[in-house]
Amino acid sequence: MTVTDPATADAPGTGDARRAGVARPSPPRRRRGATAGGAAVWLLAPGGLLTLTVIVVPFVVALVMSLLDLDQYTFRQWLSAPFVGVDNYVEAVGRTSLPHAIWVSGSAAVIATLLALPLGVAAALTTHLPFRGRSLIRSLYLIPYVLPAFVVGTIWRIILQPDGVANQGLATVGITGGLWLNGPKSYLALIVVQAWSGWPLVYLLALAGLQGIDDSLHEAAALDGAQWRAKLRHLILPLLRPPVALAAIISLLHMVNSFTLPFVLFGVPSPHDVEVLPVLTYVESFQNLRFGLSAAMAVISLVLILVPLLVYLRTVRLDEPEAAA
């Protein structure tokens, strides 16, 4: 019994070609699809090679090093170093100050980000509308963002000296400053400096969000008689939520991974109150020469920052349908 394809049964010439045993040419759509797929592979190849070189290979090397008893004696032949399994991870969590460093890095980054958000949004609102000298004000706002972290740390280290500008300014209002680069107040100094250097990023993204709001929405709000405060609450701030949320996640990731600023500001070894995770990893690796232990700390820090990173990636992915719409 012969089964005839209903989709091709009525096509002219189809039955004659089958009976004659003539092979039909491949559909042109399939050839175009194969050509497009090959072109896509070649276009993605440089990015894939770069990802493999910059991300995958270093991560695999760090993962292997974290499982070895690697120090200054075994570093030359590190592939033959003693295999210790997860002992480096157990030692990092239980017998070092890694949990304290994670707490300092995470809490300082969260507080500094929360301080930077209103500063950046307020600066964007004040410079969004045209006025004389707006370009100069915008340029001044970007100074903390364009300065290298080494310069920012050096400037604030001078300001926060015991006889520096900070204590002199506080003395004029009757407040005793004290030590800002050592002791419990160093944690407050770390938050202030991180917030100062991080708020321009929030400012830039919030300003871009303001410029993306359609003028017709402002005109419709004006026709409805909405005052500035009502327009800010019900129109501007809701539309600014996506760029500000993205700025918060990027700032949080940057501050948690910040190495140069705490390194320059407090020196090495840093005070216990501001012993952040990147500096602790550096000390274990290049001062104590415990390369296996520092590699385990690096892997743990990578796992920790994956949480806000996944939130960031999900935020970007959720924006795609809105952009496509």
Tokens of 228: 């500035």
For residues 28 and 98, which has the higher predicted lDDT (pLDDT)?
A: 98
Is the pLDDT at 4 greater than 60, yes or no? no
For residues 2 and 62, which has the higher predicted lDDT (pLDDT)?
A: 62
Q: What is the pLDDT of residues 252-270, one digit of tens each?
A: 888 988 899 999 999 888 8
For residues 280 and 305, which has the higher predicted lDDT (pLDDT)?
A: 280
Helices and strands in the chain: count of H runs, count of E runs: 17, 0
Backbone φ and ψ for 3, nearest 5 degrees, come out as -100, 125
Is the pLDDT at 306 greater than 50, yes or no? yes
Q: Which pLDDT score is estimated for 223?
A: 80
Is the pLDDT at 244 greater than 50, yes or no? yes
Q: What is the pLDDT of residues 58-94, one digit of tens each?
A: 889 889 999 998 888 887 777 788 898 899 999 999 8
Q: Which pLDDT score is estimated for 27?
A: 55
> What are the distances in angstroms from CA 257 to CA 55, 57, 101, 150?
16, 20, 12, 15
Q: How many of the other CB atoms lie within 10 Å of CB of 296?
A: 30
For residues 231 and 16, which has the higher predicted lDDT (pLDDT)?
A: 231
Is the distance from CB of 201 to CB of 252 less than 8 angstroms?
no
Mean pLDDT score across all residues of the chain? 83
Split at pLDDT 50, 70, 90, the class of 28 is low
Is the pLDDT at 48 greater than 50, yes or no? yes
Confidence (pTM): 0.79
The sign of the torsion formed by the CA atoms of 11, 13, 18, 19 equals positive
Please tell me whether the peptide bond between 269 and the residue prior to it is cis, using omega within 30 degrees of 0.
yes
Q: How many of the other CB atoms lie within 10 Å of CB of 161?
A: 15
The 3-state DSSP composition of the chain as helix, strand, coil percent (nearest 5) reads: 75, 0, 25
